[in-house]
Structure 1
Amino acid sequence: MRSLILLGLVGFVAQLVDGSLGMAYGVTSTTLLLAIGTNAAAASATVHLAEIGTTLASGVSHWRFDNIDWRVVLKIGIPGAIGAFAGATFLSSLSTEVAAPVMSIILLALGVYVFVRFTAYGLPRGNLGKPLRKRFLAPLGLVAGFVDATGGGGWGPVGTPAILASGRIPPRKVIGSIDASEFLVALAASAGFFVGIGSENIDFAWVAVLLLGGVIAAPIAAWLVRHIPPRILGSLVGGVIILTNVRTLLRSDWIDAPGNVQAIAYIVIAFLWVAAVAYSLREYRRDKANESVEAIEAELRARTEEEKIYT
């Protein structure tokens, strides 16, 4: 019973983070399942089965808060489902020991870009409103879906920073669209796991409690992402991407850093992350104050012009 309660809490926290930042449900949940001895395929299958429900609830919640661009959902979700089915089917025979560090380097580069861009300058507006093309979203979805199924998580960490970096749609719509399209990915991955390993290694009680925690958290997360300013949200997302992928690289066979080195790296990143979020919050407040002053000045000018006309 204690394990089930813990899994329910993990599902709640994981979905709260995922629905707010567009990533981390699969990574968080799969990490716990692996830590208690579940094999990789069964852990990923359990998480993806739970995600069928959590992503549906999250998608509905984001839709109600107008956080979704449905064109993005279709263009990235269908290729993502194809990649997820392929990744799930071949997981038991696929080694990701080399692929994971390579992908982490790519994600880390994107994370640094998002982190610096949003912290220093706020929301990129040069491309805002321009369409995201299929030739960009389709390969992205295919890769993200494959990584998500083979690694037990990765749809958000691959898709969210790549779309955020384009600066073409607001962060809240990036997150809402990624969460909504993940329903297709979870459905396809689950089908692939049933084909690949069957259902005998899946504990459906674990699926149920992960699902319950996620469903409870979904509307809360959708509300949060609508009310967190884009500049602060970008700093938060960038920090998550950097911390997650530095951790992967330090623990990989390529580096295999000692525990004390890892601890120092995490402390430094955490310090920079907190400082960046604080700076983004200060700049956001300053921008809002300037906008208020400009609005008052514009209203005064308009009244002055009116008075000139009537006099």
Structure 2
Amino acid sequence: MMHRFSLKHIGILIIGLKFALLAFLVLKVIYFSEQPPDYVFDQRFFFIMVAGFLAQLIDGTLGMAYGVSCSTLLLSLGLPPAVATASVHTAEVFTTGVSGLSHLFMQNVNKVLFFRIVIPGILGAVIGAYLISEVLDGNVIKPYISGYLLIMGILILVKSFRKLPGVERVRRLLLLGFSGGFLDAVGGGGWGPIVTSNLIFQGKTPQETIGTVNTAEFFVAFCSTGVFLFFVGIDSWKVVLALIAGGVLAAPVGAVMAKRVKPKTMMRLVGFIIILISAYTIYNSLA
């Protein structure tokens, strides 16, 4: 069945799902909101917009850090963890959608790899979103996730200074996709660092890995967002709009940069970003 779907079909599905979610959000804010919408955009709106631009630029180029960067910012502004995570994942549907379309256009996507990670990724994201909304505290397990990512970042950085091997077979893709989707929903970010870092460490080329993982991330974010909207709701629509506006502007730029940056340079940047974010998360958790 997988061979019937082309990259063009994936792009059409992304566009259709984005418009469906957009229509739902517009109807909810305008017609079903408990209070009249406030259309005044203050300085914080533009600050969040710039943060969304930078986060998506990094994510589109290196395949990671959007969720972690945005979640950290929103938590620092005083939003509750569940609300911050729901806002980031809602915005991520639109930013990763544009990023995915850009990577499809630049031919950075491996169709076989895409299908092998996206289906378990969706399953993990749905389960994780439900648990963080109703059962778990994501802050409890976040330091353990960051410790694992810190080790992966160091290994990738070390590997970037060696000769890049060919890929015989990427292993444990179902488990990798499931754990990436689950931990992304629970921790507010992690799909990119977990899936991208593992695939690159196993020898996949950075450009193809980042393009494929970013495109799959749209579907993972879309499904987890549906769960968050059902259990948590989305009252902070201006935060979501600011993140979307900044991210959509940055997404095409990130796809072009991912295509043009050399593989070894990309690996070093990926490793450095993983180490930096993981160390920062561990420090905040222990402080």
Highest CA radius of gyration, 1 or 2?
Answer: 1
TMscore range, shorter length: 0.7 to 0.9
Q: Secondary structure at the match of 2:64?
A: coil
- Residue identity matched to 2:165: R
Q: Secondary structure at the match of 2:138?
A: coil
CA contact (8 A) 1:90 1:196 kept: no
**Which residue pairs with 1:156 in the alignment?**
192
Q: 1:261-309 deviations in whole A, cap 9, x for unaligned?
A: xxxxxxxxxxxxxxxxxxxxxxxxxxxxxxxxxxxxxxxxxxxxxxxxx
RMSD: 1.4
Partner of 1:75: 116
Q: 1:59 aligns with which of 95, 100, 120?
A: 100
Mapped pair 1:183 → 2:225:
no
- Cα distance in 2, alignment partners of residues 221 and 78 from structure 1: 25
User: CA offsets, 1:81-109, max 9 Å, x none?
Assistant: 11111111121431234422222222111
Deviation at 1:184, TM superposition (A): 0.9
* Letter aligned with residue 152 of structure 2: L
2:243 equivalent among 210, 219, 241: 210
- Identity of matched residues, %: 39
CA distance in 1: counterparts of 2:182 and 2:140, whole angstroms? 15
Aligned match for 1:113, one of 155, 180, 196: 155
**Letter paired with 2:196:** T
In structure 1, runs of 5+ residues without a counterpart are 257-311
Partners of 1:74 and 1:91 in 2: CA distance: 26
Gaps of 5+ in 2: 1-41
Q: Aligned equivalents of 2:48 and 2:232: distance in 1?
A: 23
Cα contact 1:17–1:24 (8 A) shared by 2: yes
Which residue of structure 2 lines up, in the alignment, with residue 228 of structure 1?
261
1:252 and 1:4 map into 2 onto residues whose CA distance is 27
Structure 2 counterparts to residues 21-36 of structure 1, below 5 A: 21-36=62-77
Give 2:136's aligned residue. 94
Letter in 1 for 2:226: A
Q: How many residues align?
A: 245
SS in 2 for 1:198: coil
Deviation at 1:237, TM superposition (A): 0.5
TM-score, structure 1 normalization: 0.76
- 1:3 aligns to what? 44
- Cα deviation digits, residues 136-190 of structure 1 (max 9, x gap): 11111111111111111111111111111000x2101111111000011111111
- Give the match for residue 82 of structure 2: 41
Asked if 1 retains the 8 angstrom alpha-carbon contact of 2:86 and 2:232, the reply is: no
**Contact 1:58–1:180, Cα closer than 8 Å, also in 2:** yes
2:179 aligned to which of 123, 139, 143: 143
The SS at the match of 1:38 is coil
Q: Do the aligned partners of 1:164 and 1:171 also contact (CA within 8 Å) in 2?
A: yes
Equivalent position of 1:308 in the other structure: none
**Equivalent position to 2:228, from 189, 193, 198:** 193
Letter in 1 for 2:221: A
Matched, 1:125 2:158: no
Structure 1 219/29 Cα, relative in aligned 2: closer, same or farther at 3 Å?
Answer: same
State the distance in 2 between where 1:90 and 1:194 align: 14
